[in-house]
Amino acid sequence: MNKANNIIRALNLALHPEGGYFRETYRSKGEITQENLGPNFEGNRNYSTCIYFLLTSDGFSAFHKIRQDEIWHFYNGSPIKLHLISKDGEYSKIIIGSDFAKGQIPQYVVAYGTWFAAEVINKNDYSLLGCTVAPGFNFLDFELAKRNELIVMFPQYKSIITTLTRS
Ligand code: GUN
């Protein structure tokens, strides 16, 4: 995993609470006020933010949700699998990567409120992506799933929830 460590160092990435490593690369100066955001948000938000996100195959991004649509962009490394549970309780998975003939896609939008988790597909590898949100990210908009609560909400997905949560 030397390659992953070199990227983490070169791009100055830090640990993310969901798993993986990130660094914010863009935060618009402009703000949307609370009154224009509506009741889904507490306080003002920047128009948009963007991060680098790197995940290694020895870890995973645990189930979490945010209040914004999140646009994922594939950069390099292994393709990455997203596991998604929509607000309506529908499970789906999607592979973001660059082997388009195999149905991988370079960009994917995770709808706001979707519970989602991610795993690197290849062994001993990493995935490097970008994640853009609008309105801009604030940790107030981020909720890491509690395993037991998510299982009570979606008992039919107990197995994947157990695999992709830490507590
Ligand atoms: N900034 C800090 N954490 C995150 C995240 O999980 N997603 C996005 N888009 N921005 C972040």
Closest C-alpha to 81, from 69, 97, 103, 70: 97
In a domain, 89, yes or no: yes
In a domain, 16, yes or no: yes
Its domain, for residue 133, covers: 2-33+43-163
Structural domains of the chain, count: 1
Q: State pTM to two decimals.
A: 0.97
Q: Is the CB of 50 under 6 A from ligand 1?
A: no
Measured CA to CA in angstroms, residue 111 lies from 7, 115, 141, 142, 162 at distances of: 28, 9, 13, 14, 22
Residues of the chain where predicted confidence (pLDDT) is lower than 50: none
Q: Judge if the beta carbon of residue 49 lies within 6 A of ligand 1.
A: yes
The per-residue pLDDT for 114 is: 98
Q: Determine the pLDDT at residue 1.
A: 75
Task: Note whether residue 132 is domain-resident.
Answer: yes
Nearest to 129 by CA among 70, 58, 51: 51
In Å, what is the CA distance from 112 to each residue of 57, 86, 109, 143? 26, 9, 9, 12
Which position has the token pair 């507590």?
A: 167
Residue 52 lies in a domain: yes
CA–centroid distance, 131 to ligand 1, in Å, is 7
38 inside domain? no
Residue 84 is assigned to a structural domain of this protein: yes
Using the atom order of ligand 1, give the atom closest to the CA of residue 133: 9
pLDDT at 89: 97
Q: Which residues pair with 89 in a beta bridge?
A: none
pLDDT score for 56: 98
Q: Domain of 135: which CATH number?
A: 2.60.120.10
Does residue 21 belong to any structural domain of this protein? Answer: yes
Task: Among 45, 67, 71, 142, say which to mutate for ligand 1: greatest number of ligand atoms within 8 Å of CB.
Answer: 142
